[in-house]
Amino acid sequence: MKKTLALLMTSALAVSGLAGCGNEGASGDGKVKIEFFQYKSEAKGTFDDLIQKFEKENPKIDVVQSNPPDSLTVLKTRVAKRDLPDVVGIGGDSAFGDIAKTGAFEDVSKDELVKDIQPAYTKMLKDVSKQTKLYGIPYSVNADAVIYNKTMFKELGLSVPQTWDEFINVAEKVKEAGKTPFYFTFKDAWTALPSYNVMAANTQGENFFKELDKGKTTFAKGHKEATDKFLTLLKYGHDAQNGKAYNDGNVAFAKGASAMYLQGIWAIPEIKKANPNIDLGVFPYPVTNTPGESKVVSGVDLLLAQTSTTKHPKEAKKFLQFLLADENIKTYIKAQNAFSAKKGIVQEDPSVEGLKESLARGAVTDFPDHYVPIAVGLEKQLQVLTENKDAKKFLKTLDQEWKKVKNR
């Protein structure tokens, strides 16, 4: 389905030469109107504030924010219809890759706005789109981490683990103390992804998906270690792991139901809503037994792209320059509890202190699921794995589904 849609968009745009209707950009008061389409509903208010600031500084430009439900489906439909917004903000995953291949976005490979962006993140966008050129500017990034209850760690005399064996030993000690090491929420299938992503990213090998594309490897080979380690983590969960959803987990962890929570940093604001006084921290998953070897799985949560059909490239570029100004990035990452993809801009929230060093030196790698087509159903297959614990069947199914999608 996804590949078919991508091909449909490619052919439609190739035939039209991307000369679509787009936003006419005319308003009755003589202002230039541009559309900013972005996919993060939780960031709408933050962007409303930034847009208001931009319009005050640029009184002849009107920015209209679009943030529809099921935004990626809406955007793909608009690409196919050649009705593109002027500026787009989406995640750096396979959906971005599909759209980038159609020529919908401007090439920013040599743009001055890219020179201060962490190279690790621009590489991720090239890799996921399978393009040599860059079709988006990484803006904010998120990360998978082990979120831990500092108070509970102190009470149990635990230190932050540096290796896989130490990690499992910490889980054992928590269990021996009669407490729950990890809280899982597999009623929402996607919540299996954070921990699995880290296991896979740090064990699959650097070129796994390139080799998979060429038929030179399989999930059965490349993801066996990740699957085994993921199943090991499940031994330290709680009863009814498949009956709890993401929101349940945020509240439960906030109230002390477990020592650790295997989620992304995006969960922290929700946890703090449930318990503003919780003393929590984060640390990188230690996947191997070599201290400091494991990379933090950190991907482009939001990229900014100027569309190639905009009738107002000067105004669209001005808006991009505004959003990428240091003070405005700081406003965004503070509100969204994210990290900046731009060098030198630090997330000041002490709760994510444990990840700063890894991100600052670029010891990061992308989310493996960004390279897996939706039709493969990775999160659904993981949900099944959490129930039947059958690693061999799980890996075999992934290989079968990958081949089906590839052959479409």
82 contacts 21 by C-beta, under 8 angstroms: yes
pLDDT score at 28:
63
Q: How many residues does the chain have?
A: 408
Full-model pTM? 0.80
- Which of 13, 17, 58 minimizes the C-alpha distance to 317? 58
Is 183:258 a contact under the CB 8 Å cutoff? Answer: yes
| Structure confidence at residue 346 (pLDDT) | 87
Query: Within 13 Å and on the Cβ side, how many CA atoms surround 358?
Result: 25
Domain boundaries, the chain: 2-142+299-365, 144-297+372-406
Q: Which of 121, 236, 234, 218 is nearest to 177 (CA)?
A: 236
pLDDT digits (tens, 9 = 90+) for 12-61: 444 334 434 444 555 567 899 999 999 998 899 999 999 999 999 999 99
Which residue bears the tokens 């699921």? Answer: 369
* Fold topology of 2-142+299-365: D-Maltodextrin-Binding Protein; domain 2 (3.40.190)
Look at residue 25 in the predicted model and tell me its pLDDT.
Answer: 56
Q: What sign results for the dihedral spanned by CA atoms 342, 343, 347, 348? A: negative
Rounded Cα–Cα distance for residues 118 and 373 (Å): 26
3-state secondary structure of 63: strand
Q: Give the model's pLDDT for residue 206.
A: 87
What pLDDT shows up at residue 26? 57
241 closest CA partner among 386, 391, 394, 388: 386
* Strand bridging mode 32-38 / 87-90: parallel
What is the mean pLDDT of each successive set of 10 residues along the chain, which is 408 residues long?
41 40 58 96 94 98 95 93 96 91 96 94 93 96 95 98 98 98 96 97 94 96 98 96 94 98 92 95 96 92 96 97 98 92 90 87 87 91 97 98 89
What are residue 305's phi and psi, to 5 degrees?
A: -140, 135
Q: How far apart are CA 318 and CA 341, in angstroms?
A: 19
Identical fold, 2-142+299-365 and 144-297+372-406: yes
One CATH from 3.40.309.10, 3.40.710.10, 3.40.50.300, 3.40.190.10 for 144-297+372-406: 3.40.190.10
Q: Tell me, what's the pLDDT at 27?
A: 57
For the stretch 138-197, pLDDT in tens is 999 999 999 999 999 999 999 999 999 999 999 999 999 999 999 999 999 999 999 999
